C-alpha cells in the first residue's frame, strides 16, 4: 500500500531538528509540555510551507530508480540515498558547479548517469525521461514542475519560498529525504551546522566597527554585473555573511540585482567573493573589459576570492554548506581563524560526513588555485 506524504511535510519535521529532537522523541513526547509549547510554531510552519498538494509515493522499499531535476539537491541526495545506483537521471548543471576530483571520490559513477532528458533551460524530454523508468522525480519550484506534470510519476518539490537561510534549506532537504527513503540520518546536517556555528562564534567580531565589509558577486557575464543583497531563494549572501560576521555592502538589495562600477566604487568593499562568470583571477589582474577594479579596496589588498566548489558550489545550499561560514571567517578574520585552521576543519568534515580522507592536493585544487588564496 502506498504511503501518502504531503509535499514538504518532512520540512515540518525541520522544527524538531531545530530543537534537537528526533522523530522518535517527538512520537514519545507528544504530551510533553515542551512539545506542546512548540506546537504553535509548527502550525505556522505548516501553513507557510506546505504547497497544499498531496503526493502519493511508493514505500521506501519500492523506490529503486530516482531522477533529480534540481542541481543543488543532488549534493545532499548522493550522501543520503541508500544506494547511489538508485540515481538514474541527473541535471547536467549539477556538475557545472561541482569539483570533478571531489565528485569522483563522493560519487564515483556520476559521469555515467543520464542527463539527456533535461535541457539547459530545464525543459524536459518526456520520452527520454520516461525511458529511465523513474519511481520518483525530485524537483525545485513551479518553473521545473510545469515540465513534469501529468507524466504518471510521483514528483516531489524541494522548494519553499519561506526558507532563505542555507542552514534551514539544507536541514529541510535532509529531513525530507529521510522521510522519502525511510532512513535515520535526520540529525546529520543539523549536527554539522551546530558544530559550524559553535566555531563561528569564536571568530565573530564583538562590534560592527570591527566587521569586514564584503561584496558577493552573483554573476559577471558579458559585462552584466549582478550582486547579491539580502537573502532570497536564489541568493544566500546575507545569511552566509551574517554567520561569518561580515557586513554585506549590498544589503539594501533584495535578492540579486544588476549594478554598475560606480556603485561598487561607492561601496568600496574590503573583500569580494565571486560566484558565477568571470573568475577572481581576472579581477585581480584587472583585465575585465569595461570594468576597472583598481579603485576598489579589495583589489588593492588582493582580497578577491572564488567561492569554493565541492559536490556543489558553496554559494548555494548544498551538503557542504556548514563549511561556508568557516571558510568566509578564515578569509575575513585570519588572526582568529587561520587558513590552516580551516583546512583542518575541512578535512575533519569530510572524514565525519563522507568517510573520505582529503589529501593536501585535494585541498589545493579546491582552495589553493581559485583566485587569491
Per-residue confidence band for 75, with pLDDT thresholds at 50, 70 and 90: very high
| Range of lowest pLDDT (71-75, 228-232, 249-253, 349-353) | 228-232
Decide which of 5 and 78 is more confident: 78
Give yes or no for residue 156 having a pLDDT over 80. yes
Average pLDDT rounded to a whole number, residues 233-260: 92
Question: Residue 32: pLDDT above 60?
Answer: no
The predicted structure's pLDDT at residue 231: 78
Band (pLDDT 50/70/90 cuts) for residue 54 is: low
For residue 4, name the pLDDT band (cuts at 50, 70, 90).
low
Query: Who has greater pLDDT, 7 or 117?
Result: 117
- Asked if 304 contacts 271 with a C-beta cutoff of 8 angstroms, the reply is yes
Q: What are phi and psi of 67, to 5 degrees?
A: -115, 135
Which pLDDT belongs to residue 223? 87
Which residue would you say has higher pLDDT here, 231 or 20? 231
Mean pLDDT (whole number) for 46-58: 52
Query: pLDDT by residue (tens digit) across 132-143?
Result: 999 999 998 888
Q: Rounded distance, CA 228 to CA 28, Å?
A: 43
Instruction: Give the confidence band of 350 by pLDDT, cuts at 50, 70, 90.
Output: very high
Res. 55 pLDDT band, cuts 50 70 90: confident
pLDDT over 70, % of the chain: 84
Write down the pLDDT at residue 159. 86
Mean pLDDT score, 9-20: 37
- pLDDT at position 35 is 29
- The total of other beta-carbon atoms located within 10 Å of residue 367's CB is 19
Quick one: pLDDT band at residue 150, thresholds 50, 70, 90? confident
Q: Which domains does the chain have, with CATH numbers?
A: 1-57+161-188 (no CATH), 58-159 (3.40.50.1980), 204-368 (3.40.50.1980)
pTM of the model: 0.84
Range with the poorest average pLDDT among 110-119, 177-186, 219-228: 177-186
Report whether pLDDT(320) > 50: yes
Task: Quickly state the pLDDT bin for 11 (edges 50, 70, 90).
Answer: very low
pLDDT tens for 256-279 read 999 999 999 999 999 999 999 999
Amino acid at each position: 500500500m502506498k504511503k501518502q506524504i504531503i509535499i514538504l511535510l518532512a520540512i515540518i519535521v525541520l522544527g524538531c531538528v531545530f530543537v534537537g529532537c528526533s522523530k522518535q522523541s517527538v512520537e514519545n513526547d507528544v504530551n510533553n509540555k515542551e512539545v506542546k509549547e512548540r506546537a504553535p510554531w509548527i502550525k505556522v510552519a505548516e501553513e507557510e510551507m506546505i504547497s497544499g498538494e498531496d503526493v502519493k509515493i511508493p514505500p521506501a522499499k519500492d523506490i529503486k530508480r530516482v531522477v533529480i531535476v534540481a542541481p543543488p539537491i543532488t549534493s545532499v541526495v548522493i550522501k543520503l540515498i541508500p544506494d547511489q545506483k538508485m540515481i538514474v537521471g541527473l541535471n547536467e548543471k549539477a556538475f557545472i558547479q561541482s569539483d570533478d576530483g571531489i565528485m569522483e571520490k563522493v560519487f564515483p559513477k556520476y559521469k555515467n548517469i543520464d542527463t539527456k532528458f533535461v535541457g539547459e533551460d530545464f525543459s524536459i524530454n518526456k520520452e527520454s525521461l520516461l525511458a529511465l523508468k523513474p519511481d520518483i522525480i525530485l524537483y525545485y519550484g513551479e518553473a521545473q514542475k510545469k515540465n513534469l506534470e501529468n507524466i504518471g510519476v510521483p514528483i516531489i518539490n524541494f522548494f519553499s519560498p519561506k526558507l532563505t537561510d542555507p542552514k534551514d534549506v539544507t536541514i529541510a532537504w535532509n529531513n525530507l529525504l529521510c522521510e522519502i527513503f525511510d532512513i535515520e540520518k535526520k540529525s546529520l546536517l543539523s549536527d554539522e551546522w551546530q558544530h559550524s556555528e559553535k566555531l563561528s562564534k569564536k571568530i565573530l567580531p564583538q562590534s560592527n566597527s570591527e566587521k569586514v565589509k564584503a561584496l558577493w558577486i552573483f554573476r559577471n557575464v558579458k559585462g552584466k554585473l549582478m550582486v547579491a543583497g539580502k537573502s532570497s531563494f536564489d541568493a544566500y549572501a546575507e545569511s552566509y555573511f551574517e554567520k561569518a560576521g561580515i557586513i554585506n555592502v549590498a544589503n539594501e538589495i533584495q535578492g540579486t540585482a544588476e549594478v554598475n562600477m560606480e556603485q561598487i566604487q561607492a561601496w568600496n568593499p574590503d573583500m569580494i567573493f565571486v560566484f558565477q562568470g568571470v573568475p577572481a583571477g581576472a579581477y585581480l589582474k584587472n583585465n575585465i573589459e569595461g570594468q576597472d577594479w583598481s579603485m576598489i579596496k579589495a583589489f588593492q589588498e588582493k582580497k578577491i576570492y572564488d567561492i569554493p566548489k565541492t559536490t556543489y558550489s558553496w554559494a548555494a545550499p548544498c551538503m557542504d554548506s556548514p563549511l561556508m561560514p568557516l571558510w568566509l571567517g578564515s578569509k575575513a578574520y585570519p588572526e582568529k581563524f587561520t587558513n590552516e585552521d580551516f583546512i583542518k576543519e575541512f578535512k575533519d568534515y569530510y572524514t565525519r560526513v563522507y568517510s573520505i580522507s582529503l589529501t593536501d592536493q585535494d585541498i589545493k585544487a579546491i582552495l589553493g588555485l581559485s583566485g587569491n588564496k
